[in-house]
A and B are shown apart, each in its own frame.
Chain A
Amino acid sequence: MPALANVALMRLTARPGLALIVGLLALLAAAIATAFLTIGARGRWDFVLAFRGTKLAAMVLVGVAVATAAVLFQTIARNRILTPSIMGFDALYGLIQTGTVFLLGARGLGFGDPRLAFAVEAGTMIVFALLLYGWLLADGRRSLHLMLLVGVVLGAIFRSLASFMGRMIDPAEFVVLQQRLFANFNAVRSDLLLPTCLAVGAVLLVVARLLPRLDVLLLGREAAIGLGVDHRRNVFLVIVLVSILVSVSTALVGPVTFLGLLVANLAYMLLPSYRHVHVLPAAALLAVVALVGGQLALERLFALDAVLPVVIEFVGGIVLIALLVRTGRR
């Protein structure tokens, strides 16, 4: 009977434990956000808050988008190492942007309504991602090696195509383009905040309805079909969602999707649950903490404010390797 009592106890405490972890993360994120808005503020508050608020909003949006994209992608790939960035998603987005400048000139980027341009780029991204990755992921039997290989090869092709086009672009236009292609939180495109916010909101609404189905997808193609989940259709839907999220984060600040690998794995390790209803919020909050906290520390402690992406990749890489080695040993 003690065993039974133990089981009962474990099941009782399991849920509050998860809620507690997610709650604490939310508090931490809120505290860091407040600190980011207020610490060291001089001069007129309305000006400071508006300036920092824009930056904060961009970081929250990017954090949520990157983390959600990584977790969703890992679910359909059934693997915790592949992420949209390893599979070349953000390289694809960069190629689409370069292609736009190449074909239309820098006006192609700045011309007309930026919201319209964003919608067109995201749409192109969705179509190409479905064509390029749909067959790979919907099969459900592909090996990790094949997926990695395809990701690395596609990523390399996109990058070299982009740099090839970059060479042929007018230098003045190339400068404009370059600002787009490197992650930079100080050059947030505030004109895109509203449309990207709406896009992320819409994606999250869809994800909320998908939560139990995402859990089923973790079991793989055949178990999912056996349980009545249309595997192919749902994998395609997830690719569409991931494409939108990658477009959002890359359009706002440039490629930072490496962060996704880090926060997704941290969330898996932190939470004793495989369920997306727990993992997704935890990963998103961790991403916000990492981005806002990192930017805060860099700006206030080191007075360096342009190097956040570099620091995140560096620190994140080390943390990730440490985590992998540790779980490997356990």
Chain B
Amino acid sequence: MIETQELTRRYDKAAVVDAVSLQLPEQAFTAIIGANGAGKSTFLAMVSRLMPASAGRAFVDGLDVATTSGDVLARRLAILRQDSAVTARVTVRDLVAFGRYPHSRGRLTAEDRAQIEDALDFLELAPLADRFLDEISGGQRQRAFVAMVLAQDTDHLLLDEPLNNLDMRHAAGMMKLLRRAVDERGRTVVAVLHDINFASCYADHIVAMRDGRVIAEGPPEVIVTPSVLEAVYGIAMEVVSVRGYRSVHYYR
């Protein structure tokens, strides 16, 4: 269970996340949408204790992230950053193996190794597993970081723009994978998405942010409507229904 109470982050008095109180549904896929600078990454960073909150609190499974020890949280929650820069010269498999650190502290067991190979396979990285991170493409690197998050094997997955750099095939594959994590393994997935159509087709719940506040939340049927989306993004949107899913047209 992820819950926030008046969670706030200020820079010089200006709140970029402004008293956000949310209860995210358990064992469901939540998409967070909003324009650039709306505060989505800041919100996720505070929930995952990468950034201290200026005010308010965040809880994971009832544990206050500000006071719970880091390694306890690392076994309950994994986070993918929007821009994961690693300067160390490690291979894809090394990186994914780091995901097992909260469980094995660097001493990999047979089970750890199986999980690592699983995560590599899930993201179609097996052929690249022994390449160094600076020898693969941006989309491949993104998948490697997601594989590391999966290998961490936590109940909660927070993903900041997991579709960054991915082509259509891998983007759809990523969404199916996250959906399966929810449906088959009972995980709670929270992902920041800029592609509203993916959010509409895959998410159970959508949270729309603007200027640091949550201006709407609900299932796709409620959020993916011209009036809500125009309030979120400030441009005209046309919503059509394709095969039962709401789809947004805004290209021109």
- For chain B residues 70-107, which have a beta carbon within 8 Å of chain A? 70-75, 78-79, 81, 84-90, 94, 98-99, 101-102, 105-107
A sample of 20 inter-chain contacts (CB < 8 A) reads A7-B130, A79-B87, A215-B106, A216-B101, A216-B106, A218-B90, A222-B50, A223-B84, A225-B49, A225-B70, A226-B48, A226-B78, A226-B79, A226-B81, A227-B152, A228-B69, A228-B70, A228-B71, A274-B89, A274-B94
**Contact status of A78 and B87, CB under 8 A, knowing A212-B101, A226-B79, A227-B98:** yes
Cβ of A178 to closest chain B Cβ, rounded Å: 40
Q: Is B62 an interface residue (CB 8 A)?
A: no
- For chain B residues 121-156, which have a beta carbon within 8 Å of chain A? 127, 129-130, 152
Residues of B within 8 A of A222 (CB): 50, 79, 81, 84
> How many positions in chain B have a CB within 8 Å of any CB in the partner chain?
32
- For chain B residues 43-71, which have a beta carbon within 8 Å of chain A? 48-50, 69-71
Residues of A within 8 A of B85 (CB): 220
Cβ of B102 to closest chain A Cβ, rounded Å: 5
Interface footprint category on A: 20 to 34
B130 close to A10 (CB less than 8 A): yes
A227 close to B101 (CB less than 8 A): yes
B75 close to A228 (CB less than 8 A): yes
Residues of A within 8 A of B105 (CB): 212-213
Interface string of A189-205 (1 = CB under 8 A from B): 00000000000000000
Residues of A within 8 A of B78 (CB): 226
Interface string of A215-250 (1 = CB under 8 A from B): 110111011011111100000000000000000000
Residues of A within 8 A of B127 (CB): 3
A223 close to B98 (CB less than 8 A): yes
Give the secondary structure class of B's interface: loop
Task: Identify the B interface with A (CB < 8 A).
Answer: 48-50, 69-75, 78-79, 81, 84-90, 94, 98-99, 101-102, 105-107, 127, 129-130, 152
Cβ of A328 to closest chain B Cβ, rounded Å: 13
Give the secondary structure class of A's interface: helix
CB < 8 Å: which of A215, A220, A227 contacts B87? Answer: A220
A215 to B97, CA, bound (A): 11
Report the 5 A-B pairs with minimum CB-CB distance, sorted nearest first: A212-B106, A228-B74, A228-B71, A218-B88, A228-B70
| Max chain A C-beta neighbours (<10 A), residue from B71, B89, B98, B129 | B98
Cβ of A146 to closest chain B Cβ, rounded Å: 16
Q: Is A211 an interface residue (CB 8 A)?
A: yes
5 other A-B residue contacts (CB within 8 Å) besides A213-B106, A218-B87, A223-B84 = A212-B106, A216-B106, A222-B81, A274-B88, A274-B89
A216 close to B130 (CB less than 8 A): no
